[in-house]
């Protein structure tokens, strides 16, 4: 299958690959898997004192679309509040990357990963 140019760009030059210390209490970690294909995505956010996301990193063991989706989302969440990050929809990711229907679940993985990361952060802070 041919990937869109947007996917190739993020796939060949992924933004924000890496990891933060899971134990750092300014960090939220989301780890999700796609039952459809077995791909796994880990996405982390770092939250500043003002409650805004200052940085994000990911590691994705999966297809090009999953890598592109996580790369895009790590860019999008920077500067956002937790609520704004929770509002990111996989349909926005799929649209931005021009994902074909069989690759929609890859964008859902990214939405789930960011939600899981925010939840982890909130749990750490008793919210």
When binding is defined by CB under 6 A, the residue of 27, 32, 66, 82 that contacts ligand FES is 66
Cα 112 from Cα 1, distance rounded (Å) = 25
When binding is defined by CB under 6 A, the residue of 16, 65, 70, 71 that contacts ligand FES is 65
Q: Binding mask 104-123 vs ligand FES (x if CB under 6 A, - otherwise)?
A: -xx--x--------------
Q: Classify 89 as helix, strand or coil.
A: coil
Closer to ligand FES by CB, 77 or 108: give it.
108
Positions marked catalytic: 37, 106
Q: Cβ of 8: how many Cβ atoms within 10 Å?
A: 14
What are phi and psi for residue 4, nearest 5 degrees? -70, 160
Token representation of residue 13: 């030059």
Cα 124 from Cα 40, distance rounded (Å) = 23
User: Min. distance of Cβ 34 from ligand FES in angstroms?
Assistant: 5
The interface with ligand FES within residues 35-64 (CB under 6 A) comprises 36-37, 39, 62-63
Find out whether 72 and 53 touch, Cβ atoms under 8 Å: no
User: Min. distance of Cβ 59 from ligand FES in angstroms?
Assistant: 14
User: Which parts of this chain interact with ligand FES (CB under 6 A)?
Assistant: 34, 36-37, 39, 62-63, 65-66, 103, 105-106, 109
């Amino acid at each position: 299958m041919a990937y869109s140019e947007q996917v190739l760009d993020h796939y060949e030059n992924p933004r924000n690959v890496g990891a933060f210390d899971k134990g750092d209490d300014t960090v939220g970690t989301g780890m999700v898997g796609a039952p459809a294909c077995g791909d796994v995505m880990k996405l982390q956010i770092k939250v500043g004192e003002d409650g805004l996301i200052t940085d994000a990193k990911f590691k994705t063991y999966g297809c090009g679309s999953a890598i592109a989706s996580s790369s895009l989302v790590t860019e999008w969440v920077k500067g956002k509040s937790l609520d704004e990050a929770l509002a990111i929809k996989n349909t926005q990711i799929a649209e931005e990357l021009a994902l074909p229907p069989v690759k929609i679940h890859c964008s859902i993985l990214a939405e789930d990963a960011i939600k899981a990361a925010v939840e982890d952060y909130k749990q750490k802070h008793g919210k």
